[in-house]
Chains A and B, each alone.
Chain A
């Protein structure tokens, strides 16, 4: 982050730009509301979402932020009967800094939700839609809470697609696909997940992102080839859970699945392998481009970490004098705390 000039600092205070604690998303990560159709058809379900665009070096968080960070949250307001599904994220990437593992979106990404219009709504009925989004943008050294309220007027209609439809559909195709459950075995807090071979993930880049870091620790894990698929070794923060869910991704393909604890019979049938026994993993699909396509995980990390050693912006000592200039103004306006 570049140093803030003293002039800007003074100006902001005197002009009263900072009327509340809310930071300007344009400086960190912008959000834009997208709707698939300006005239959704009664009885249909359409895509809505947010295009998130972080400034270089900044990242946002996945639904489970990992050891640290804050997941985005949204409050929708619409007519009675209009329903919204949960925010759906693309697969995250891993960011590790100072021993803290976070699940992040390091580049531009789209968060999706499904909006269902009640069948009873007559065509031509206005559907004013409001969304209050709260999210966090961070670098390795700075974290900024961001908030925005969006409003758009939809009208119940024929379901004609609007200009955002293409982007929303593309984002929907990037969502982790649902996959049949896998199994896991537990030995105390040690866990071994078996990702079915049918998912054809690249073992060298496969990583599991748990929905809940209690069930599967966010930190170190190891993927190795095993009989029946890919084995991911890790640990749970507490006693093993009955089921562990999340997303497995190799940076190219991502699947959402649950793992249930394997039965003793299954354990005997599929003995877990020592990593050395399968030291030369081959991409199951045999696709030649499997190596050439570097997953975004690896590309994104250097830029995210680049700011780590940067000296944070420092305002000259005189800035504290400058602060006084805005004091009277600020005191009259006791701020409201941002809400989620």
Chain B
């Protein structure tokens, strides 16, 4: 628990230290797009919060809702994976599907990225007791060491960017045929449902053996 928490916090630092995104978003692929082009549509998004270690060779994209029990159950195994495997990039796509409280939590989480606190807030929201109320969301933000007033300012200042990101996440989840959460893309394979540490490790191992070329991460994202 503590080790993976530490790894997660380290990831947060890496994210905070990352240079402003220079990469362009990848447009929706055409019907005859290659597997690699299609994959990049889901993974290359400068606005999506992520943990991107230097030299990563596998990317996990997670579609999640802060109120979904299975998302909560997968949170710890994913953190353990990241503490054991330093070459995995994770992209978090907030996809609030369980009502108003979930939408609020996703908005707060995404807005916290502007102060470099996404991962801490994400972690706090996934571990806070349910049901998520405004008071509990605010308490989670405080626990994560993020500035609530700054989040409110960033929501106002970046409303279009945040809305677009959440709409994009929603659109992608539907393209993937996801009925619910959590959903994952690991390498070029998609799945619906939470995973244990062993299942994450197996999926990552398979992704590394895929024939499709994977871009080497620079750690600058």
Q: Which residues of A are interface residues toward B (Cβ below 8 A)?
A: 1, 4, 9, 12-13, 18, 20-21, 23-24, 27-28, 64-71, 73, 97-98, 100, 102, 134, 136-145, 213-214, 217-218, 237, 309, 311-321, 323-328, 330-331, 334-335, 337-340
- Quick one: which of B171, B185, B190 contacts A331, CB cutoff 8 A? B171
- Chain A residue with minimal CB distance to B39? A320
Within the complex, the shortest CB–CB distance from B96 to chain A, in Å, comes to 8
- Chain B residue with minimal CB distance to A104? B69
Do A214 and B129 have beta carbons less than 8 Å apart? yes
The answer to whether the Cβ of B199 comes within 8 Å of any Cβ in the partner chain is: yes
Q: List 6 A-B contacts (CB under 8 A).
A: A1-B193, A141-B193, A143-B71, A143-B182, A213-B129, A312-B192
- Quick one: which of A142, A145, A321 contacts B33, CB cutoff 8 A? A321
Q: Count of A-B contacts with CB under 8 A?
A: 175
Q: How far, in angstroms, from A97 to B71 measured CA to CA in the complex?
A: 12
Interface residues of B, count at CB 8 A:
57
Q: How far, in angstroms, from A331 to B167 measured CA to CA in the complex?
A: 11
6 tightest A-B contacts by CB? A312-B193, A144-B180, A340-B99, A68-B69, A23-B179, A141-B194
- Quick one: which of B33, B103, B194 contacts A337, CB cutoff 8 A? B103
Pick the most buried of A97, A318, A319, A326: most chain B CB atoms within 10 A of its CB: A319
The answer to whether the Cβ of B13 comes within 8 Å of any Cβ in the partner chain is: no
- Chain B residue with minimal CB distance to A340? B99
- Quick one: which of B35, B65, B72 contacts A100, CB cutoff 8 A? B72
- Quick one: which of A64, A140, A325, A326 contacts B70, CB cutoff 8 A? A140
Do A340 and B177 have beta carbons less than 8 Å apart? no
Q: How far, in angstroms, from A23 to B179 measured CA to CA in the complex?
A: 5
Do B71 and A328 have beta carbons less than 8 Å apart? no
Pick the most buried of A71, A97, A142, A328: most chain B CB atoms within 10 A of its CB: A142
Q: How far, in angstroms, from A237 to B192 measured CA to CA in the complex?
A: 32
Within the complex, the shortest CB–CB distance from B203 to chain A, in Å, comes to 8
Binary flags per residue of B166-207, CB closer than 8 Å to A gives 1, else 0: 010011011111011110010111111111100100000000
Binary flags per residue of B85-117, CB closer than 8 Å to A gives 1, else 0: 000000000001111101100000000000000
Known: A312-B193, A323-B175. 12 other contacts (CB 8 A): A18-B174, A21-B174, A65-B130, A102-B69, A139-B70, A139-B193, A143-B70, A217-B129, A319-B190, A320-B38, A324-B30, A334-B171
The answer to whether the Cβ of B5 comes within 8 Å of any Cβ in the partner chain is: no
The answer to whether the Cβ of B213 comes within 8 Å of any Cβ in the partner chain is: no
Name the A residues within 8 Å of B70 (CB-CB). 138-143
- Chain B residue with minimal CB distance to A24? B179
- Chain A residue with minimal CB distance to B179? A23
Name the A residues within 8 Å of B129 (CB-CB). 67, 213-214, 217-218, 237
Within the complex, the shortest CB–CB distance from A131 to chain B, in Å, comes to 17
The answer to whether the Cβ of B20 comes within 8 Å of any Cβ in the partner chain is: no
Name the A residues within 8 Å of B103 (CB-CB). 337
Do B189 and A316 have beta carbons less than 8 Å apart? yes
Within the complex, the shortest CB–CB distance from B16 to chain A, in Å, comes to 29
Name the B residues within 8 Å of A100 (CB-CB). 69, 72-73
The answer to whether the Cβ of B29 comes within 8 Å of any Cβ in the partner chain is: yes
